A = this chain, B = another copy of it.
């Protein structure tokens, strides 16, 4: 599937697109790359000449604060326009790192500028994507203050389940999980040992199965209830045209 088809699907999942807009998106040039687990997709500090659309795999934003190890501020799933914002900002303040094998489509900044100039509604949909990213960031801030241990782990798992479900990557109640317990700890700001205990507790409660790089939620509602997860912040529906 071409890059632009992915962008089309990505925008269409939240708002309706006209036929003309679909044509414009399909005609949008892009360049495809693949990465292995842990590869640097975009390096902190550089001025990217385009933005990257995540087609397959996951990616994370990794910051360096003071003298600490890298810390993760966000996780992205297929369909996410990972650094769409870099075409208005001049440089990234963090790395973008591949989580599991990744496929990325790069879209040049000039083409994004054309879209925002010539197709205001499409421009607003791109803006909307960045606003939803911001909502997720705020929810991460809030859940880190409100939840501890297995609830916090469960909340992230619910979020991934919902986000991957939206792009058709959940089947049989489960999904591919490219992060191991160490990676999950890094994303959550926990230690491996602590995540291990939280996962053990979720398993014991019958709320999580996780083997061989695949996660399954035997009782998604129960996990959501347990973790205080309300998917409203993900804007999964089509409320406006």
Contact surface of A with B, Cβ cutoff 8 Å: 61, 63, 65-68, 71-74, 85, 88-90, 93-94, 116-117, 120, 123-124, 127-128, 130-135, 137-147, 151, 189, 227-228, 232-233, 235, 239-240
Residues of B contacting A88 in the complex (Cβ-Cβ under 8 angstroms):
124, 127-128, 131
Residues of B contacting A228 in the complex (Cβ-Cβ under 8 angstroms):
65-68
Q: Given A67-B228, A137-B137: A89 and B142 within 8 A (CB)?
A: no
Beta-carbon contact of A142 and B65 below 8 Å: yes
Sample (5) of A-B pairs whose CB atoms are under 8 Å apart: A63-B138, A65-B228, A73-B138, A74-B138, A116-B123
Q: Given A138-B73, A147-B65, A228-B65: A131 and B90 within 8 A (CB)?
A: no
Question: How many copies of the polypeptide does the oligomer hold?
Answer: 2
Beta-carbon contact of A235 and B89 below 8 Å: yes
Beta-carbon contact of A145 and B240 below 8 Å: no
Beta-carbon contact of B141 and A140 below 8 Å: yes
Q: Given A66-B151, A94-B138: A71 and B130 within 8 A (CB)?
A: no
Partner of A93, one of B127, B135, B143, B189: B135
Nearest residue, chain B, Cβ from A69: B146
Beta-carbon contact of B72 and A145 below 8 Å: yes
Nearest residue, chain B, Cβ from A88: B128
Residues of B contacting A240 in the complex (Cβ-Cβ under 8 angstroms):
90
Residues of B contacting A68 in the complex (Cβ-Cβ under 8 angstroms):
146-147, 228
How far apart are A62's CB and chain B's nearest CB, in angstroms? 9
A89 to B135 alpha-carbon distance, docked (Å)? 10
Nearest residue, chain B, Cβ from A89: B131
